């Protein structure tokens, strides 16, 4: 019920009414307002005044409906945080961001020129953007290898997950130096 704006307004109105009723009961119970004054007030306003009776009835119906709605909220769709949704004719497929990161990194690790990869997935309404932070070998032509990596990552992630890859962004973090073995 609290998912919509109208639901939130009704919920907070209900809370305010319950708060007012609880304050009224507390004030009545400690004797700030004597019982005789409450009886005379009720007799004065409810004795033949149809507008007061109508307003009271509407408030009672409102409280009743909201109480029932809060007691039985109905079925709520369960969503998974950090997951991307792919709708198919048979149902919904949820793929976690972590899974997409692993798929993208696996595609990059196919290249011997890349020594380290870190990835970040940005979820958007019509697909994902993959950000890659790479450490590559020093003797690699950067424009050539990055184009190959972008094509491979896009094709591999879309093929495995079925989620549209809008962009593959690459940041070359560092060049590695091959370790030379020492002979002693």
Cα–Cα distance, 5 to 26 (Å, whole number): 31
Assess contact for 107 and 168: CB atoms under 8 A. no
In the chain, what's the furthest Cα-to-Cα distance?
A: 110
pTM of the model: 0.53
Query: Which tops the pLDDT comparison, 161 or 107?
Result: 107
Alpha helix segments (H runs only) across 109-141: none
Cα–Cα distance, 152 to 16 (Å, whole number): 58
Where does residue 83 fall: left (phi above 0), alpha (psi -120 to 50 degrees), or beta otherwise?
A: beta
For 153-182, how does the pLDDT look when each residue is reduced to its tens digit (9 = 90+)?
Answer: 999 999 998 888 999 999 998 777 665 555
Place of tokens 């007012």: 20
* Structure tokens, 19: 């708060």
For 44-88, how does the pLDDT look when each residue is reduced to its tens digit (9 = 90+)?
Answer: 776 777 787 788 788 888 878 877 777 776 655 555 555 566 677
Domains of the chain with bracketed CATH: 5-71 (no CATH), 83-175 (3.30.70.1350)
pLDDT value of position 110: 93
């Amino acid at each position: 019920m609290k998912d919509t704006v109208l639901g939130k307004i009704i919920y907070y109105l209900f809370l305010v009414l319950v708060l007012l009723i609880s304050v009224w009961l507390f004030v009545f119970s400690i004797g700030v307002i004597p019982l005789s004054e409450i009886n005379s007030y009720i007799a004065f306003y409810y004795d033949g005044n149809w507008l007061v009776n109508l307003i009271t009835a509407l408030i009672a119906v409102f409280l009743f409906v909201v109480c029932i709605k809060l007691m039985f909220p109905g079925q709520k769709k369960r969503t998974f945080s950090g997951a991307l949704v792919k709708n198919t004719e048979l149902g919904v497929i949820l793929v976690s961001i972590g899974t997409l990161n692993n798929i993208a990194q696996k595609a990059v690790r196919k290249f011997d020129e890349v020594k380290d990869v870190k990835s970040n997935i940005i979820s958007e309404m019509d697909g994902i953007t993959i950000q890659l932070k790479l450490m590559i070998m020093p003797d690699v032509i950067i424009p050539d290898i990055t184009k190959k990596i972008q094509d491979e990552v896009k094709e591999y992630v879309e093929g495995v997950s079925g989620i549209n890859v809008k962009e593959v962004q690459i940041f070359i973090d560092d060049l590695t130096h091959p370790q030379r073995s020492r002979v002693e």
